């Protein structure tokens, strides 16, 4: 199940629903550029290691390429192509004037020192400096990269071009031109959409159970927001353990343990379960906030959730989408659900360019307005065309992309 194949199948399903012009479809089916580089890095022990690095610039019809850089041992071109495509769709869904890109380095951060990571980050910018820039391509953090990574990158780019250019990347620390509210933006955007759907269905959050897969910045943030809003979070999964507690977990305790690198499976009253059992739990909301291909032909039929809120990228395969739609499971797709991060990245870019900075309340108010507008348009298209929310979101995005590409 290659992510890029799945992405193109999602594109084709939406294209058929609106009889998309074949030339536009062909152009949207391939990235503008795929750039690779080898980064020679002297490790702390004096040995030389070569790291593979990537940047895929997918489409810039609506504005500069935009998308994260992930540091992960399994990063490859197919995955980066898919992620850059989804970023193109995501920016168009929420209506921000940016295109889609994605980057990566094949590296295991868990066995790499901070000084080595700094060298890799700066070398990445050195390799791609002529292709990135505030008006060309604006990277951001992704899996295993963070504000510190972006600080190194912004500093390196500014040195190389001989001028302070903070807007070259987003997701920076506040003291380097970062935006208020950026850290929680992806999770907060997802919460705005979920809250609206819950209100539309006249459900009561305090009577709803949730399972969250992934406890990183996004999954952990979602679990905390849900817990604070009164949802009963009965199960969480991370890379080390999957735990379940029927009467609900104390998410503050879970996240505290996670932060202190303590195990979760010895929390009082919890039961350790398998990933198969996790996806089959009788919960109201399932939140996949991990890697691609989590919900597939093999496990889609066992899902009992009413709502799947996709906070990770590409968690559901096209075969699974068909099964879930037939089961009337409401899948809020990644290209909408997790678009809060790129939306606030866009805000950061705007603030850097104008050298004016907004309060967290202003950021959150603007984020809510954009997320709810995109969600309402997606919801309306889904009702009108009797399609799932993913296809509806793609129809919304493709319409905007086609208009920009036709100019």
The catalytic site residues sit at 102
Asked if residue 214 lies in contact with residue 312, where contact means CB atoms within 8 angstroms, the answer is yes
CA distance 212 to 223: 7
Asked if residue 252 lies in contact with residue 227, where contact means CB atoms within 8 angstroms, the answer is yes
Burial bucket for residue 359 (CB in 10 Å: 0-12, 13-18, 19+): exposed
DSSP assigned state of 95: T
CA distance 282 to 114: 42
Shortest CA distance to 312 belongs to which of 389, 215, 170?
215
Asked if residue 202 lies in contact with residue 214, where contact means CB atoms within 8 angstroms, the answer is no
Shortest CA distance to 334 belongs to which of 65, 147, 90?
90
Beta bridge partners of 48: 42
Q: How far does the chain reach from its first CA to its final CA, in angstroms?
A: 35
3-state secondary structure of 339: coil
3-state secondary structure of 83: helix
Beta carbons within 8 Å of 114's beta carbon, 6+ residues apart: none
CA distance 313 to 298: 19
CA distance 390 to 379: 10
Shortest CA distance to 169 belongs to which of 387, 352, 4, 310?
352
Asked if residue 244 lies in contact with residue 270, where contact means CB atoms within 8 angstroms, the answer is yes
DSSP assigned state of 353: H
């Amino acid at each position: 199940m290659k992510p890029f194949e799945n992405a193109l199948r999602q594109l084709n399903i939406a294209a058929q629903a609106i009889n998309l012009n074949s030339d536009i479809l062909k152009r949207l089916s391939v990235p503008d550029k795929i750039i690779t580089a080898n980064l020679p890095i002297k490790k702390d022990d004096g040995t030389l290691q070569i790291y593979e690095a990537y940047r895929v610039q997918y489409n810039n019809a609506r504005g500069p390429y935009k998308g994260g850089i992930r540091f992960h041992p399994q990063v490859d071109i197919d995955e980066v192509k898919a992620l850059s495509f989804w970023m193109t769709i995501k920016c168009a869904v929420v209506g921000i004037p940016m295109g889609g890109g994605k980057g990566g380095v094949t590296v295991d951060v868990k066995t790499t020192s901070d000084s080595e990571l700094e060298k890799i980050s700066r070398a990445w910018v050195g390799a791609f400096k002529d292709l990135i820039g505030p008006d060309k391509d604006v990277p951001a953090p992704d899996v295993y990269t963070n504000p510190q990574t972006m600080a190194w990158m912004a500093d390196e780019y500014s040195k190389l071009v001989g001028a302070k250019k903070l807007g070259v990347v987003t997701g920076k620390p506040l003291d380097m031109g970062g935006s208020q509210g950026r850290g929680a933006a992806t999770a907060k955007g997802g919460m705005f959409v979920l809250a609206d759907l819950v209100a539309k269905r006249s459900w009561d959050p305090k009577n709803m159970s949730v399972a969250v897969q992934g406890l990183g910045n996004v999954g952990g943030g979602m679990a905390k927001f849900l817990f604070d809003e009164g949802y009963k979070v009965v199960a969480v999964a991370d890379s080390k353990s999957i735990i379940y507690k029927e009467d609900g977990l104390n998410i503050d305790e879970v996240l505290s343990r996670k932060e202190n690198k303590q195990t979760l499976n010895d929390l009082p009253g919890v039961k350790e379960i398998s990933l198969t059992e996790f996806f089959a739990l009788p919960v109201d909301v399932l939140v996949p906030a991990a890697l691609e291909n989590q919900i597939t032909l093999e496990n889609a039929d066992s899902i009992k959730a009413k709502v799947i809120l996709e906070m990770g990228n590409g968690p559901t395969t096209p075969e699974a989408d068909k099964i879930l739609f037939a089961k009337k499971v409401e899948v809020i797709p990644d290209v909408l659900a997790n678009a809060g991060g790129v939306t606030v990245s866009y805000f950061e870019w705007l603030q850097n360019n104008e050298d004016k900075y907004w309060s967290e309340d202003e950021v959150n108010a603007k984020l809510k307005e954009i997320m709810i507008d995109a969600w309402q348009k997606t919801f309306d298209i889904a009702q009108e065309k009797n399609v799932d929310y993913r296809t509806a979101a793609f129809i919304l995005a493709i319409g905007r992309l086609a208009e920009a590409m036709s100019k």
